[in-house]
């Protein structure tokens, strides 16, 4: 499962802690998630406060992001937003899991400090057990790109699955 040969590989030393941490939030005009909410082909579902989008390209069979429709972090979501988020995680997970050739789907919240809520769902190809677990994201950066036509076809299936309820 570990994506690298261990020989010669060593961990970097920890740097000094930042306390307080610097504010890394981006303005909406500089936010990639805000920009991704615009092109219709990248939007898979639009809900009350949240939407499901996909990246322009990926090296995995499919990736989806559950994001807020406005530029806000997960910290700002109220209880109704939490309910919608939970429902969309479950439904998007099921939609990706139902795609042909998917072995598992991993759910992650990184957000990387940009200030825009994003929960990332990563689909692992069926049978490729070397990619299982938390290193899937690291592997994803090193795999060949998935053809755009395959991603478009899977996006249509996910969009249809999310529209049924
Ligand atoms: Zn944003």
Q: For residue 34, what is the enclosing H or E element? A: helix 32-36
Average pLDDT estimate for 152-162: 97
Ligand 1 centroid–CA 90 distance in Å is 23
Ligand 1 centroid–CA 103 distance in Å is 31
For residue range 94-125, list pLDDT tens digits in order: 999 999 999 999 999 987 778 999 999 999 99
Ligand 1 centroid–CA 117 distance in Å is 8
Domains annotated for the chain, with CATH where assigned, are 28-163 (3.30.428.10)
Distances (CA, A) of 156 to 28, 60, 77, 147, 152: 28, 16, 28, 15, 6
How much of the chain, in percent, has pLDDT values that exceed 70?
Answer: 99
Quote the pTM value: 0.94
Ligand 1 centroid–CA 5 distance in Å is 37
Query: What DSSP letter does each residue of 53-103 carry, written as one string?
Result: E--S--SSSEEEEEEESSS--GGG--HHHHHHHHHHHHHHHHHHHTSTTEE
For residue range 5-52, list pLDDT tens digits in order: 989 999 999 999 999 989 889 999 999 899 999 888 899 999 999 999
Q: For residue 36, what is the enclosing H or E element? A: helix 32-36
Under the banding of pLDDT at 50, 70 and 90, the label for residue 1 is confident
């Amino acid at each position: 499962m570990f994506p690298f040969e261990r020989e010669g590989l060593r961990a970097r030393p920890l740097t000094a802690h930042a306390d307080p941490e610097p504010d890394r939030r981006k303005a909406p005009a500089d936010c990639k998630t805000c920009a991704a909410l615009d092109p219709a082909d990248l939007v898979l579902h639009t809900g009350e406060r949240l939407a499901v989008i996909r990246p322009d390209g990926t090296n995995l069979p499919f990736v989806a992001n559950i994001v807020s429709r406005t530029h806000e972090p997960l910290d700002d979501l109220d209880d109704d937003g939490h309910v919608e988020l939970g429902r969309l995680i479950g439904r998007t997970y099921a939609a990706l899991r139902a795609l042909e050739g998917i072995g598992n789907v991993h759910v992650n919240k990184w957000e990387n400090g940009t200030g825009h809520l994003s929960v990332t769902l990563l689909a692992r190809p069926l049978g490729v057990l070397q990619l299982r677990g938390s290193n899937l994201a690291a592997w994803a950066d090193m795999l060949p790109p998935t053809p755009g036509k395959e991603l478009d076809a899977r996006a249509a299936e996910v969009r249809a699955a999310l529209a049924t309820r």
